[in-house]
Amino acid sequence: MNSDLNVSFELDGKTVEVQAGETLLAACRKTCTEVPTLCHDDRLDPYGGCRMCLVELEGAPRPVPACKTTAAKGMKVTSQSPMLERVRRTMAEMLMTEHTSGNGVQVDGLEECAKELGVGAMPIKFENPRTWEDRNRFLAFDPGACILCDRCVRYCDEVMQCTALEHVGQGSEAFIQPTDGASFLDTSCELCGGCISTCPTGALYEKQATAPIAETEATRSVCTFCGVGCVLDIHTKDGKVVKISSEEGSGPNDGHLCNKGRFAWQFIHHKDRLTHPLVRNAQGELEETTWEIAYSRVVEGLSAVKKKYGADSIGFLASSRCTNEDVYALQKLARSAVGTNNVHSCAAT
């Protein structure tokens, strides 16, 4: 980047340099200055709705949201002060009071933030009479946990461009719902689950999830459903998948997934999974057997054909969904162990 495109300004008494167009929040993160955020997602347009990220700007009448303020030359910014601390605690306390329920399926960013600031809900009872049911099997919504930050709505509008969610009503009457209050299955929703991934409170969560996130172990891997190769995290508990998610910045997909990557994992534990080797018996039926017998049948079968017709009468076919290592081994089996170059896969593209 050309240096005259850079902007230098003062942050907490130190001079910092960022690229033109970057926000004060980006600058804070670069210098490892802790500024809490809730409504901000790097993948969405700057919004400035929750006011958790307020900072002081010299000459400005009031604190400004760091996530929505573009750094400019010569600015003097204070990110930590007793006043800001007070404001942040008040904001967090109010939001915690609105946030009346939680389910633990997702990491609760609000609760973490409040804990960090040492506050909890105010001792007043906040009623949220709204309940929500939907017949789709992937997306669940808990209105009591929602703080109306609009991240889900903005994700659906800006990233998916599906406009399948809306923020309706005002003040204490406001709520989030699928367009026109319909089921997700009857709207333009594509069941990508991106709204879940951006929700900072866990109000939107995976219906299929079988355990709280805190009890799961995450394994980073790659989606197997198409050539985009999205990086994802498989959350498991007791040898079962609980849910699949993806972390922002972890791969070429930057935390985005489609409905297949995020939700199509039921097949892993499906009752139709093969659990034993099978061989065809004299009646022409497949029956369970041991690995030993299965292997010897394969060796016999391949050797007999090779002896009778030659190695080039045997063909090897690999799925383009196997790993590189599996496929390498298959072509080596064909070429080295059997002696033929008849190896190919289904799609030539």
Q: Annotate each residue in 62-81 with x if it binds ligand FES (CB under 6 A) or - if it does not, as one string.
A: ---x-x--------------
**Residue 336 binds to another protein (criterion: CB under 8 A):** yes
**Residue 117 binds to ligand SF4 (criterion: CB under 6 A):** no
**Residue 226 binds to ligand SF4 (criterion: CB under 6 A):** yes
**CA-based nearest residue to 15, from 76, 56, 72:** 76
Q: Which residues contact 168 (CB under 8 A, 6 or more apart)?
A: 174, 175, 176, 177
Smallest distance from ligand SF4 to CB 32, Å: 18
Contact residue for ligand SF4 among 18, 28, 203, 242 (CB under 6 A): 203
Residues 21-40 contacting ligand SF4, CB under 6 A: 37-40
**Residue 137 binds to ligand SF4 (criterion: CB under 6 A):** no
Dihedral of CA atoms 82, 88, 90, 92 in degrees, nearest 10, equals -150
The residue among 105 and 338 lying less far from ligand SF4, judged by its C-beta, is 105
The residue among 52 and 204 lying less far from another protein, judged by its C-beta, is 204
Q: Which helix (H) or strand (E) holds 295?
A: helix 291-309
**Residue 51 binds to ligand FES (criterion: CB under 6 A):** yes
Distance CA(271)–CA(287), nearest Å, equals: 17
Smallest distance from ligand SF4 to CB 154, Å: 8
Q: Which does 208 bind (CB under 5 to 8 A by kind): another protein, ligand SF4, ligand FES, none?
A: another protein
CB 303 within 8 A of CB 293: no
**Residue 194 binds to ligand SF4 (criterion: CB under 6 A):** yes
Contact residue for another protein among 147, 209, 223, 243 (CB under 8 A): 223
Smallest distance from ligand SF4 to CB 212, Å: 17
**Residue 151 binds to ligand SF4 (criterion: CB under 6 A):** yes
Distance CA(327)–CA(313), nearest Å, equals: 20
Contact residue for another protein among 41, 71, 231, 245 (CB under 8 A): 231
Residues in the chain: 349
Distances (CA, A) of 347 to 288, 317, 318, 320, 343: 31, 11, 10, 7, 13
145-173 as b/e: b if 16+ CB within 10 A: bbbbbbbbbbbbbebbebebbbbeeeeee
Residue type, 290: T
The residue among 40 and 243 lying less far from ligand FES, judged by its C-beta, is 40
CB 125 within 8 A of CB 11: no
Residues that bind ligand FES (CB under 6 A): 37-40, 48-53, 65, 67
